Structure 1
Amino acid sequence: MSSTSYLRKKMIDDLTGVASYAPPPLYLSAHSGDPGGMGSHAFEVTAGGYARVALSGVMGAADASGISVNTSVITFGPATADWGTITHFGIEDSPSGGNMLCPGVPAMPRTITTGQPLQIPVGQLRLRLT
């Protein structure tokens, strides 16, 4: 996942002593289009049954290469209305609104229809800042 311009600014300000940045609790969002480098929420799912998923306690420590993976299944939904095709995810700093820190693309897009959950199996969400 690449970092958004928002996160890059926060990190540089912290590193240079301009302003401290303490990462807040993180959430995963699902999108039907590319959020881009600015981390737009224009394509975030808004249909019934959708809510961002808290990542607290879900991600493992980064390995020597700087990659952290999910240690338990991540589940959105189930959908109470069609969500469309999920083509992107975002790491967010708030359960709603807020700022996207990192957008990313799943290995395979998934179409979610009414009654289905969106699940990410153990080890399939891989976080590494680039």
Structure 2
Amino acid sequence: MHEQELKTFVEGTTNFFEVTAQQPASIGSPYLMEGSPAVHEYTGVINISGKREGAVYFTAPKAMLTVLLMKMQENDFSHETMRDLVGEVANMISGNARRDFGRDFVISVPSVLSGEKPQIRHKPGMRSFIIPINWRSHSAKLIVALT
């Protein structure tokens, strides 16, 4: 995984906060992890194939999404609205990737996982880059798991 590829995914995430919440998010210290990382209650999933294989995830806790919806002056804090919001973040990440990577990558329409303990599965031996996304007092994760 090249630094520029990671930067594309990070910028897609931070752009969402700058545009939608009109408040920037900060990036924590990235780290590598073996196996399947834990995710929060809401996770946007982008499957990728082509030059690289795997997935990119944006996962956020309900509390963070609730504050983000309030910042957007949204009054509906339902499960479906939370799913839609995390899907929108994934969609912005996906759009950045399509723009930057072109035909080298086949990028899926984002999907959403939700629930108490949603799980993501990786191929055995796959490592993930975990990038903390901090906004206000909340922390989400951008997970990049590509071969």
| TM-score, scaled to structure 1 | 0.27
- Going by fraction, where is strand more abundant, 1 or 2? 2
- Going by fraction, where is helix more abundant, 1 or 2? 2
User: Bigger relative contact order, structure 1 or 2, given CA contacts below 8 A and separation 6+?
Assistant: 2
